[in-house]
Amino acid sequence: MALDHGRHEVAPAAVAPAARLSLEPLDIGFGARVRDVRIQDLVPAAAEALNDALYRHQLLIFEGQSLTAAEYTAFGNMFGPIERHLLEQFHLPQHPDIFVISNLKENGRAIGHTDGGFVWHTDMGFAERPAAATMLYTREAPSKGGDTIFASTYLSFEGLPDDERSYYAGLDVIHSFEELYRGRKAQPRDEERKRWPDVIHPLVRTHPVTGRNGFYLGFGDVRAVSGMEQDAGLELIKRLADLTTQPQRVYRHTWQVGDVVIWDNRGMLHAATPYDKDNDRRLVWRISVQGERPFQAMS
């Protein structure tokens, strides 16, 4: 799908005028700012326009939002059924659809997750049906650092010659939950470990709506490439991730309080960046929505 640069509107005919979205694409080849929207005013009829915009642009940025937990959850549901995070200790009390990312403590207890996502990855790649989309809502932002960086795997894949694309389309990747949590401070419960056996996903994944093809990979949960020596497979993954995340292809989001960013995990890599956890404050609410089993339908 060609990306349309410049300000424009996406509004399927069936959507009420109130659901029109004013989109301002970023100049990096993916991503768009959504202007003049108060998320809690979006009626359910806006879901089609929102999803269309997300699929088209891969990443949507809303600024200046002020949402209750219930309003944010309702927004999440406009993109699909919510996938609750498996680390239940960091669910927002009374609102388990929201996962808290934070360095803050209450009564000496950490209220949120702090130690994940610092390598290029895609959310829940270890699952048979990984999260389709993830959104973050920043309620407290550190004064410095804590940015989230994004890169489109469609752009890196589409830039390759036909023979290379065909070669990569023949490969599968083994993703591992065990690998992802190895050595981390916050550990899942034993029943969660049993729930997530290794899975195999195609290295090239087709988007179920747009039909676009892009690399589906990431660090952390990738154990190996099928049919390759482990070192050689991981080296290939690194090479493709490096290709995808060349500096000129990366969008860096510096968070302001009130920002909501949602991205489509299927063709996107993202990573957290550090901040001063000992002296600064960060409070982010995350929601992920359920996705389909990755597949590849290249002709």
Binding site for Fe ion (CB under 5 A): 117, 123
Q: Which is nearer to Fe ion, 150 or 168 (CB)?
A: 150
124 close to 83: Cβ distance less than 8 angstroms:
yes
DSSP track, 106-121: ETTEE-SB-S---SSB
Minimum Å gap between C-beta 297 and Fe ion is: 26
Query: What SS3 class is residue 18?
Result: helix
Q: Which is nearer to Fe ion, 23 or 98 (CB)?
A: 98
Minimum Å gap between C-beta 117 and Fe ion is: 4
Q: Which is nearer to Fe ion, 123 or 264 (CB)?
A: 123
Query: What SS3 class is residue 180?
Result: helix
Minimum Å gap between C-beta 8 and Fe ion is: 29
Q: Which is nearer to Fe ion, 173 or 284 (CB)?
A: 284
How many Å apart are CA 112 and CA 286, to the nearest integer?
11
Q: Which is nearer to Fe ion, 180 or 224 (CB)?
A: 180
Report the residue closest to Fe ion, judged by CB: 117
User: CB neighbours of 63 closer than 8 A, spacing ≥ 6?
Assistant: 33, 256, 258, 259
Q: Is the dihedral of CA 63, 64, 69, 70 positive or negative?
A: negative
- Burial grade of 156 (CB within 10 A; 0-12, 13-18, 19 or more): buried
Minimum Å gap between C-beta 65 and Fe ion is: 20
Q: Which is nearer to Fe ion, 117 or 208 (CB)?
A: 117
In 10 A of CB 57, how many CB atoms? 25
Site of tokens 């659809």: 97
Minimum Å gap between C-beta 124 and Fe ion is: 9
Query: What SS3 class is residue 13?
Result: coil
Q: Which is nearer to Fe ion, 118 or 167 (CB)?
A: 118
Which residues make beta-bridge pairs with 8? 23
How many Å apart are CA 28 and CA 30, to the nearest integer?
6
Minimum Å gap between C-beta 162 and Fe ion is: 32
* Residue of 186, 15, 14, 194 whose CA lies nearest to 102: 186
Minimum Å gap between C-beta 118 and Fe ion is: 10
Site of tokens 């010659």: 161
